[in-house]
Amino acid sequence: MRILGLDYGSRTVGVAVSDPLLVTAQGVEIIRRESENKLRRTYARIEEIIASYGDVTAIVLGYPKNMNNTIGERAAKTEEFAAALERRCSLPVILWDERLSTVAAEAAMTESGIRGSERKKYVDEIAAMLILQGYLEYLKNRQEGDASDGT
């Protein structure tokens, strides 16, 4: 069982996938498109990635809420993208709060010594990894909480 993580942007989609034990997130690729509304190839590529792993059971999609927890234009577009993904892939799509994931990705690359021009090449993929890793940690903590309840 694996979970796919996505960071949906206006021209890119960062892609990450979990390991089969749902412990770690690994970067897969960045899907690029010419314009924001040209999504046919993006959906097709996501379907190909899902098929290549064979055991993807859900998609975690970064949900870009505003800092004050409201839903803005980008979040509304993400909701539309999520609905289309669910229809096309027949998998549940979980919207996961991604506030500051791109900032965290930039910071991680800066700390690693990756130069500015190189960071732009990888930021979306690393953001997808951070989104997915946050969700995996949530699942782990939830399971540990259930175990401590005696359930």
DSSP label at residue 100: T
Above pLDDT 90, what percent of the chain?
50
Give the helix/strand (H/E) hosting 136: helix 116-148
pLDDT surpassing 60 at residue 149: no
Supply the pLDDT for residue 81.
Answer: 94
**pLDDT (tens digit per residue) in 84-132:** 999 999 999 999 988 655 666 666 666 766 666 665 667 778 889 989 9
The interaxial angle of helices 101-111 and 116-148, nearest 10 deg, is 120
Asked whether the beta carbons of 12 and 32 are under 8 A apart, the reply is yes
Higher pLDDT, 109 or 139: 139
Supply the pLDDT for residue 114.
Answer: 64
Confidence tier at 3 by pLDDT (50, 70, 90):
very high
Asked whether the beta carbons of 40 and 47 are under 8 A apart, the reply is no
DSSP label at residue 69: S
67-76, 113-122, 139-148 — which is least confidently predicted?
113-122
d(CA 109, CA 122): 9
Please give the CATH architecture assigned to the domain spanning 2-148.
Answer: 2-Layer Sandwich (3.30)
Supply the pLDDT for residue 71.
Answer: 76
Supply the pLDDT for residue 27.
Answer: 92
Q: Where are the domains of the chain?
A: 2-148
d(CA 19, CA 54): 12
d(CA 96, CA 24): 16
d(CA 11, CA 30): 10
DSSP label at residue 122: H
- Which residues are bridge partners to 5 per DSSP? 16, 60
Confidence tier at 23 by pLDDT (50, 70, 90):
very high
Please compute the mean of the pLDDT values over residues 37-48 and round it to a whole number.
Answer: 92
